[in-house]
Amino acid sequence: MALSDPQGILASPLTVISRQSEAADIAAISDLITRYQVEQVIAGLPRSMDGSLGRQAEKVQTFVRSLSRGLPVPLEFRDERLSTVSARRLMRDNKKRGGRHDDAIAAALILQMYLDESASRELDSPPTEI
């Protein structure tokens, strides 16, 4: 998991939740949403390299549907293709590198892409007031 700063400019790795059961996982995510006053959730969707949705993406969608039922905030999917590969590349020289750490960094990369896209859309839209 990752969080952005309050201004929505910079994403940072937060933690990795170890899978237990769907109910426990949802409770852990809901706790973090409350604790950090999260206003929106961005979920990575593991698409195949051709853009299609495979078995893992379908599992993620099923879990996220269950998660979203209890969330008081909006949830949006983002393509996560190659995010773990990018995280490993970024951490290549870091001695703390490891699977769980890579996952938190991959989450931060997915969130950062979303934040960058949002900022770009805001710059491209005309002002609503002058």
**pLDDT values of the chain reduced to their tens digit, one per residue, 130 residues:** 999 998 989 999 999 999 999 999 999 999 999 999 999 999 988 887 787 888 988 999 999 999 999 888 999 998 887 555 555 565 555 555 455 567 888 888 889 888 988 887 776 655 555 4
E strands within 1-130? 2-4, 11-13, 41-45, 75-79
Number of residues assigned to the chain: 130
CATH of the domain at 68: 3.30.420.140
Domain that holds residue 12: 2-124
Please state the domain count of the chain. Answer: 1
Assigned domain for 110 exists: yes
Instruction: Decide: 34 and 71 in contact? Cβ < 8 Å.
Output: no
Summarize the chain as % helix, strand, coil (round to 5): 50, 10, 40
Specify the residue for token string 């209890």.
70
- Answer whether residue 130 is part of any domain: no
Residue 45 belongs to a domain: yes
Phi first, then psi: give them for residue 3, nearest 5 degrees: -130, 155
Cβ burial, residue 98 (10 Å; 0-12/13-18/19+):
exposed
